[in-house]
Amino acid sequence: MGHTLSCRTCRVIDADRESALRRAVDAFNRERTWILSLATDDADGHLRCTMEPVGEPGGNSPEGERPRWPGPYEAKCLLDALCEISGEHDVDWEVWATYAQRPVAVIRGGVCIDDPEAHAEAVRRRCAELDAAETQQQAAESEQRAAPYTERLGRLYRVVVGALAVAAVVALGLWLASASR
């Protein structure tokens, strides 16, 4: 999964303001390959804004291919546009990063205010997830490398136990034979 930014309005906005905001976003999105995509969160009524490639909702193009992300410059252009539009329509936003547990920035009065500590927390969280995944992968690879040895040890164990069982039966038979004389 890649790193993405998404935004959520700080408060539920009225229908007229939402309509004006949507018109402004639609005007900005014309002729672009990556757009600002607005959706209402059914759970709490806040607007959400994501950066999506042109195509069907959720970023899926009709051909099923996702256009290549053009880079951080495009993200900055989209964020700058959201700031400008938000300032014009008096809508404040929280900016969320994929791995953040709290907003990494806010847009207030059309100005994006960064929270470096939230960014650092998101990076640390992602690094911890990657470390855990790498450790899990290394354990699985180690297990796969050990599997042939474990399999051979298992066979050896069965042979030894079988031989001991045979020896025990023979010994018991000899003991019974000697005891019955």
- Three-class DSSP labels, 65-90: CCCCCCCHHHHHHHHHHHHHHHHHHC
Averaged pLDDT for residues 156-169: 58
Name the percent of the chain lying above pLDDT 90.
34
**Domain segments of the chain: what residues?**
5-114
User: Residue 70: pLDDT above 70?
Assistant: no
Domain covering 5-114, topology: Alpha-Beta Plaits (3.30.70)
**pTM tops 0.85:** no
Structure confidence at residue 1 as a pLDDT band (50, 70, 90): very low
Distance between CA atoms of residues 151 and 145, nearest Å = 11
Q: pLDDT averaged over the chain?
A: 79
